[in-house]
Amino acid sequence: MPSEPTAGPLIIQSDRTLLLDVDHPDGAACRADIAPFAELERSPEHIHTYRLTPLGLWNASAAGHDAEQVVDALLRWSRYPVPQALLIDVADLMSRYGRLVLDVDPVHGLVLRGTDRAVLEEVARAKAVVPLLGPRIGPDTFGVARGERGRLKQALLKVGWPADDRAGYVDGTAHPIALRADAGFQLRPYQVEAVDAFVAAGSGVIVLPCGAGKTLVGLAAMARAGARTLILVTNIVAARQWQAELLARTTLTEAEVGEYSGERKEIRPVTLATYQIITTRRGGLYPHLELLSAEDWGLVVYDEVHLLPAPVFRMAADIQSRRRLGLTATLVREDGRAGDVFSLIGPKRYDAPWRDIEAQGWIAPARCVEVRVTLADEERMAYALAEPEERYRVGATARSKLAVVEVLCQEAVRRGEPTLVIGQYLDQLDQLAERLGAPVLNGKTPTHEREKQYEAFRRGIEPVLVVSKVANFSIDLPEASVAIQVSGTFGSRQEEAQRLGRILRPKADGRQAHFFTVVARDTNDQEFAARRQRFLAEQGYAYEIVDAEAVLQSAAAARAAAADSTATGLAATAADTELAAGPRALPGARPELPPAADDPGV
Amino acid sequence: MARTMSVRSRGGEEHPLLEVLRRLDESGLAALLEARPDLLEPPPHTLPELAARALAPASVEICRHALDHGARQVLEALCLLPSPTTLGALIDLLRIDDLEAAADLADVTGRLCERALVARHGDRLQLLVRPEVPHPAGLGPPVRVALASQPAAVLEACADRLGVGGGATKAATLANIGKALATPGLLIDLLTEAPEGAAEVAASLAFGGPEGRAAGALYAAARSDHTPIGWLLSRGVLAPISWDSVVLVGEAGLALRGGRAFPDLALRAPEFSLQPVDAAAADRAAAERALRLVADITTILDRWAADAPKQLKAGGLGVQVVRRAAKVIDRAEVETARVVELAVAAGLVSIDAKSDSALPLPAYDQWSDLDVAGRWAHLVGAWLRWDLHLCLAGAVDTKRKPIPPMLVRAHESRAVARRRRVLETLAEIPPGHSVTVESLFGRATWDRPGLWASGLTSGEGLVTWSLLECELLGLTGLGGLSTWGRLVATGDIEGARAALDRLVPAATSQFVVQADLTALAPAELVRPVQAELESMADLESRGAAVLFRFTEASVRRCFEAGRTGADILAFLDAHAAKGVPQALRYLVNDVARRFGQVRVVATRCCLRSDDQALLAEVVASRAAARLGLRLLAPTVAAASADPPTVLAALRDAGYAPAEEGADGALVLRRPPRRRAVPDRRLAALTGRPSNVDAAFGPVGDPFAAGTAAAVGPAAAKAGAGPDYAATAARLLRTEAPAPKPPAPKPPAPKTPAVELPLPASVTRGMPPPVASAFDLSPAGGRPERIARDPAAVADLLQRALVEGWPVRMAYTNKKGNSTQLNAAVLDVGRREVIVELLSGWESRVLALSRVSWVRVLTEAEEDSL
């Protein structure tokens, strides 16, 4: 135990942030100790910031950690004396979880039991809780109507006394599902751990970075549940993706997998539904939501749980007796409803930091580059004169960007990197598509056309794909290794992370992925870009900044040199523009990519 | 030898104290002076002088106040005994029956002897000076004193009732009564026959102080045995001391206590109830508190320096201010109030007289230059001397309102002594242990009962306050004194500083800059580095480590402070332990590139010309120097003079400048024609459109409104429509003895309407009279009537306005107070009237509806004003 004041790797601030020096020899051990209860806020290169929050501590309580362990870990690793008040607070907060228990009584059904009568009395008087409690059964017990299970948990969390839900789950209609042994893949160790953690708890959220194979965790969980399953996904493309995965990797047949969307309304043992369809309202009702809720599901999977819309929360509150699995890359919700995820979907059951998985080689290492384009004078004038609400569009869609994007694409194609060009504005995308001679996909593209293009891209027939924000979520483009972002939804940090996730699937040859953001200098495009990058910078992705002039010049130089020798010219380009993927720059274009390899990261 | 009378008794022999002093050796004398330091002020020259001083009641009182509980009890017990007495008598009185207690008694008497309050010769004890204690040991005066003023017959009756009978003399009777009451068991037996309540009264006086109030005690004494007080009085148990108070006689009190002078005799200090704590952990906890305190004061004062909070009208800082500060430093509000109070005590912050708000004092900068332990030591030093309880700030006063910090409060002379006593008591706890507040309070009160007896809160509250202060300063940790706390208790603040310094992480000049544009210093930064970093980044969180964030705004701020991009990067390169990330370099270079691209120039006006040569000539001309002309661009020059001056100067110089408006068009100004500013009273009359119509006929003149103001009176006098009506009205009124009720205002817009009380028939039916000029002349005489109803009031005021008559009116203000005032009318509106008071010349706007009556002052009255 370190006793010298300068020994520990952890600095505990009085505002409840924990600063972890990752370069410290004890850094890794300390991280392992504090990760279960502290929420990772930022993980840049040297010092990671964790925060002690009530939700984080309750997550730890739910996972079986006790206050003594937490206090002990803080005291053991802290470099400086730990504020006494903070320790007392931690102990106090953690002891709150579990003093109220939702349980099943053989006689009275669902009951709320208090191990501490004072607490029970307190919550029984809270305005938000009273209407959800049934008759008092004993001094320490209240009856609870089955339908109020979720809402009661929500209300209890709000008043600061989260209930431990031990009321168990119904198994739903059994339906055997198994992972196919012949599909040529194996679950990665962390995926197995995640599934085990989920199955042990019955419901909860698994946090894995984009590209770490969340879908597969979902499939494995379904196999373990062996029951009718409802999978809620963000959009129809993601639904098709899931469907393909289900058919490829499990024993399910097409007849067993249904799609419930705007196009088709199939309810089968495994049903995929989009958030959009179940939140469709007709006459003040959610007809689809009610229809689906009525089924006897044994498991409900929520893909991208951080995007869960409010009506789905309501449904989740109604089906508390079903097992629920939330999958996400981040628990950061931009609407601040993290508490609802905790009480309605369940506590966090498993969490693997992005960088750890990358270090283990499960996701591709990525390099992020911000390319700054200086606008032409007339563009600057147009920007200066634009209406305030139009400014971002004017800056982000500046024509000066096109040349840079073109050069980057050419370079990528020459090196055989499948490339995605992602943007927000359709005009801009059309211009780009025309200039690059690449197909463009947007929200209006019919689904079959979209899938055709994806397939062509997967096979390497189309080296470049220009996509709108339809590509933000849940499409699977295994071999995309370069993404060029030309515009985005203002400062959305989440979108940035999702887009980076597009290229993080591990590559067959282990090469590095590149993420370029093309930004117009001295416009609010640059400000929004900085805001978008903050999340990734906090996650440890350092953005390099490159001037567009440098890119264009070196490309010109490369073209000149290419006349002499292709290989040396490329090397020069790589060196000049810092496009090189470390030491192994790939010379020459690859003839054609092999068909999508079976990658366990899907 | 003896020069001072006071050390001689009446018989001329020396006071025994002098004798005692003479016998003391040097160390004994030194011990006396140490125990009673007040004897040294000023230093006495001779022993008799010293003895005289030691006998002075004030000095004895000071000495008694500083005694511990045991010594006080023994001293009071000695007061009950005749002097000199024997140790045996004392032991008997205190009912000491074991050897240990006897040894304690010897210690206590030793302490009394050392202070020259008692002399001891073998077994003999002599009280050298009798302290002025009203009731030693809480027992009343003996019978011989208490009942001395009673008539002999009463005493004899009393003795009879006690069953002892009177003596031959009054003194003998008193002695009999005393002996009877002192007889063990007798009183208790008697009380069984007493009326209900008597036993309780006697017991409460025996144990809770001998004096009690009883209405009409003397009358009760004269009456029979039926009341409890009467019964007790008639047996000499109680003695009357005033018309409504009684005292329990000493013998009775002692008997009721079972012959034991002190039921709660405590000759030895109570033991602490100790709990072991880890001394190292206690030190760490205390260090954390000490460092946090320093950081919190810095945080609060830095914020206040930027945004100084106003003090309340009644003094002190408001709840809101404290709440905001509490949020920033993450402490409870009560605690924050103490932190602020401590900063005041340390002379770091005060109320700025000019702005009436709390600002750091210049001493704050010197304090900030110290190292952390030094800053802490300064706080501790100030705290030890501060004669106010910090904890009073944030506490609740008698009206249940919180007492604000920074309030000027009455000093409490004992605050310092209380603080030191608690510290010293804590220092008596063996290291590695903690005690409860109760235990500490028990010990502290035994040591100095006098300190805690009277204060702003209970004794236990005062001890708790002092303990909280120790905790706030990091003198204690986990309930025990820290290493430096122990040193502070011995007065070694410098040593304490050094001890704390060993636990303070050394200040560093290195920080880590990361790609998310944060800079993190793992410990406190050395002062210049911190200041420089603060100039270019925003402080995000402060604690053991300090976190800064770079933003475009923060970097620009640094440029504004005169740094260049190269300066900033050089500074970062020198101090960033793990290199400067590229993103930050770009940020700095970006700001550097854009900084100052747009320049703001202060000018009064500028010159513009498409003819570059002409403009160059103008700027080079002699006039240019006076106008502060300089070229901003070939076609633009700035001037520091205002447009009219520039125009005039350029015209004088022979140029032909023209003024350009904001819309780019030329502004053409004709030379202004000078006209009078219209008089308000006249304007009020002529401003009415109907008058204008009347004056200028039906032909609309666009200047009518403007000119009417100037020519109005003349126009009116020239004889226009309304004046006929007015004249007619006046004529009618002079006919009628009493004023008629005012008519409703004529509704027809065409009718020339001066709103005077006219009978409707006059305005409507009659042709306008011809002459009107005299109507407005003052010769017309002033009306004498008093207008009371609202319309009449308005009309009369209107007339007074037109005529310029002063008026007297009664006005009821919004609070319902009615006043009468003399005033000149300045304007009459629809709802209010503007008047100028004749006394004092101030103008008022009065609501017409509140004017209860008005009349015009007579000329005589006006002259007399």
**Tens digits of per-residue pLDDT, B296-348?**
999 899 889 888 999 888 888 988 999 999 988 888 889 999 999 999 999 99
Q: Do B516 and A538 touch (CB under 8 A)?
A: yes
CB of A545 less than 8 A from some CB of B: yes
The share of chain B scoring above pLDDT 90, in percent, equals: 14
Chain B residues with CB under 8 Å of A13 CB are 541-545, 547
CA A58 to chain centroid, in Å, comes to 21
- For chain A, helix (H) and strand (E) counts, in that order, are 23, 23
Helix or strand run (H / E) with residue A143: strand A141-143
**A 142-181 residues with CB below 8 A of B?**
none
Report the alpha-carbon distance of residue A461 to residue A455 in Å, rounded. Answer: 9
What would the mean pLDDT of B173-181 be, rounded to a whole number? 89
CB of A42 less than 8 A from some CB of B: yes
Q: Please report the number of interchain residue pairs, chain A to chain B, with beta-carbon separation below 8 angstroms.
A: 88
C-alpha distances in angstroms, A23 versus A8, A36, B512, B582? 12, 20, 12, 20
Tokens of B379: 């706080």
Chain B residues with CB under 8 Å of A517 CB are none
- Among all residues of chain A, which has the CA nearest to that of B579? A46
What would the mean pLDDT of B10-34 be, rounded to a whole number? 81
pLDDT at residue A501, rounded to an integer: 76
Chain A residues with CB under 8 Å of B586 CB are 545
Q: Tokens 């109907």 label which residue?
A: B690
Cite the DSSP H helix spans in B24-151: 26-35, 47-55, 57-65, 69-80, 87-94, 99-114, 143-146
Chain A residues with CB under 8 Å of B330 CB are 14-15
Report the alpha-carbon distance of residue B289 to residue B283 in Å, rounded. Answer: 10
Q: Do B581 and A538 touch (CB under 8 A)?
A: no
Selection from B433, B426, B430 nearest residue B277 by Cα: B433
Q: Do B582 and A11 touch (CB under 8 A)?
A: no
Which pairs count as long-range contacts for B172-176, CB under 8 Å and 24+ apart, including other chains? B174/B143, B174/B144, B174/B147, B174/B148, B175/B144
Helix, strand, or coil (residue A580)? coil
Chain A residues with CB under 8 Å of B282 CB are none
Report the alpha-carbon distance of residue B319 to residue A343 in Å, rounded. Answer: 37
Q: Are A480 and A186 within 8 A, CB to CB?
A: no
Return the exposure string of B698-729: e unless at least 16 CB atoms fall within 10 Å of the residue's CB, then b: eeeeeebeebbbbbbbebbeebbbbbbbbbbb
Q: Do B505 and A79 touch (CB under 8 A)?
A: yes
C-alpha distances in angstroms, B789 versus B47, B417, B737, B743? 95, 75, 18, 12
CB of B515 less than 8 A from some CB of A: yes
> CA-CA-CA-CA torsion for A142, A146, A147, A153, nearest 10 degrees?
50
Sign of the dihedral through C-alpha B626, B632, B634, B635: negative
Q: Are B834 and B845 within 8 A, CB to CB?
A: yes
pLDDT band of residue B752 (cuts 50, 70, 90) is very low
Q: What are residue A419's DSSP bridge partners?
A: A464, A482
Report the alpha-carbon distance of residue B843 to residue A154 in Å, rounded. Answer: 66
Sign of the dihedral through C-alpha B328, B331, B335, B338: negative
Name the E strands within B288-354: 349-352
Chain A residues with CB under 8 Å of B580 CB are none
Helix, strand, or coil (residue A526)? helix
Work out the minimum CA distance from A44 to partner chain B, whole angstroms: 6
DSSP character at residue A344: I
DSSP letters spanning B447-464: H-HHHHHSSSS-HHHHHH
Q: Is 50 exceeded by the pLDDT of residue B744?
A: no
What would the mean pLDDT of B709-724 be, rounded to a whole number? 44
CB of A547 less than 8 A from some CB of B: no
Closest in A47, A522, A543 to B520, CB measured: A47
Tell me the backbone φ, ψ of residue A579, rounded to 5 degrees: -85, -10
Selection from B407, B406, B390, B409 nearest residue B304 by Cα: B406
Helix or strand run (H / E) with residue B730: helix B721-735
Helix or strand run (H / E) with residue A466: strand A464-467
Q: Do A537 and B284 touch (CB under 8 A)?
A: no
Tokens of A117: 């009568």
Report the alpha-carbon distance of residue A482 to residue A580 in Å, rounded. Answer: 12
Q: Do B288 and A82 touch (CB under 8 A)?
A: yes
C-alpha distances in angstroms, A427 versus A69, A449, A568, B467, B837? 57, 20, 37, 72, 76
State the helix-helix crossing angle for B689-696 and B721-735, rounded to 10 degrees: 110
Report the alpha-carbon distance of residue B58 to residue B65 in Å, rounded. Answer: 11
Chain A residues with CB under 8 Å of B518 CB are 42, 44
CB of A425 less than 8 A from some CB of B: no
The contacts of residue B547 (CB under 8 Å, 6+ apart) are A13, A19, B518, B519, B520, B539, B540, B541
Helix, strand, or coil (residue A41)? strand
Closest in B330, B514, B544 to A12, CB measured: B544
Tell me the backbone φ, ψ of residue B742, rounded to 5 degrees: -65, 140
Q: Do B515 and A542 touch (CB under 8 A)?
A: yes
pLDDT at residue B750, rounded to an integer: 47
pLDDT at residue A581, rounded to an integer: 37
pLDDT at residue B233, rounded to an integer: 84
Report the alpha-carbon distance of residue A601 to residue A504 in Å, rounded. Answer: 10
Q: Are A202 and A140 within 8 A, CB to CB?
A: no
- Among all residues of chain B, which has the CA nearest to that of A45? B514
Cite the DSSP H helix spans in A261-399: 275-278, 287-293, 310-318, 338-340, 354-359, 377-385, 391-396
Strands A513-520 and A366-373: parallel
Report the alpha-carbon distance of residue A258 to residue B191 in Å, rounded. Answer: 100
- Among all residues of chain B, which has the CA nearest to that of A84? B285
Chain B residues with CB under 8 Å of A83 CB are 288, 292
Selection from A409, A414, A412 nearest residue A433 by Cα: A409
Helix, strand, or coil (residue B556)? helix
Per residue in B611-659, pLDDT (tens digit) is: 888 888 888 888 788 888 888 888 899 888 888 888 888 888 888 888 8
Q: Is 70 exceeded by the pLDDT of residue B441?
A: yes
Return the exposure string of B320-356: e unless at least 16 CB atoms fall within 10 Å of the residue's CB, then b: ebbebbbebbbbebbbbbbbbbbbbbbebbebeeeee
pLDDT at residue B363, rounded to an integer: 92
Report the alpha-carbon distance of residue A150 to residue A146 in Å, rounded. Answer: 9
Q: Are A290 and A264 within 8 A, CB to CB?
A: no
Work out the minimum CA distance from A6 to partner chain B, whole angstroms: 7
CB of A522 less than 8 A from some CB of B: yes
pLDDT at residue A564, rounded to an integer: 60
Tokens of B393: 């700030």
- Helix/strand/coil (H, E, C) string of A244-278? HHHHHHECCCHHHEEEECCCCECCCCEEEEEHHHH
Tokens of A321: 């007796």
What would the mean pLDDT of B422-430 be, rounded to a whole number? 90
Q: Is 50 exceeded by the pLDDT of residue B833?
A: yes
pLDDT at residue B680, rounded to an integer: 62
- Among all residues of chain B, which has the CA nearest to that of A87? B285
Q: Is 50 exceeded by the pLDDT of residue B682?
A: yes
Top residue of B277, B278, B288 to mutate, by most chain A CBs within 10 Å, is B288
Q: Are A481 and A364 within 8 A, CB to CB?
A: yes
Tokens of B746: 């004529």
Selection from B647, B280, B660, B716 nearest residue B477 by Cα: B280
Cite the DSSP H helix spans in A26-181: 27-34, 54-62, 67-77, 84-96, 117-125, 149-158
Closest in A47, A79, A83 to B514, CB measured: A47
Closest in B514, B545, B583 to A46, CB measured: B514
pLDDT band of residue B170 (cuts 50, 70, 90) is confident
Report the alpha-carbon distance of residue B472 to residue B294 in Å, rounded. Answer: 10
The total number of residues shown for chain B amounts to 865
Q: Do B522 and A13 touch (CB under 8 A)?
A: no
Q: Which residues of chain A have pLDDT under 70?
A: 1-6, 183-184, 210-211, 237, 332-336, 353-355, 471-479, 492-494, 535, 537-540, 562-602
Per residue in B514-555, pLDDT (tens digit) is: 888 889 988 888 888 888 898 899 888 777 788 899 988 999
Closest in B287, B552, B578 to A46, CB measured: B578
- On the 0-12 / 13-18 / 19+ scale of CB atoms within 10 A, B492 is middle
Closest in A44, A84, A522 to B515, CB measured: A44
CB of A76 less than 8 A from some CB of B: no
Report the alpha-carbon distance of residue B794 to residue B848 in Å, rounded. Answer: 7
Count CA atoms within 13 Å of residue B749 on its CB side: 2
Top residue of A3, A18, A41, A46 to mutate, by most chain B CBs within 10 Å, is A46
Selection from B776, B660, B765, B805 nearest residue B718 by Cα: B776
Report the alpha-carbon distance of residue A581 to residue A562 in Å, rounded. Answer: 20
DSSP character at residue A329: S
pLDDT at residue B684, rounded to an integer: 56
Closest in B280, B518, B543 to A14, CB measured: B543
Computed over every residue of chain B, the mean pLDDT equals 81
The contacts of residue B699 (CB under 8 Å, 6+ apart) are none
pLDDT at residue B846, rounded to an integer: 86
**A 77-116 residues with CB below 8 A of B?**
79-84
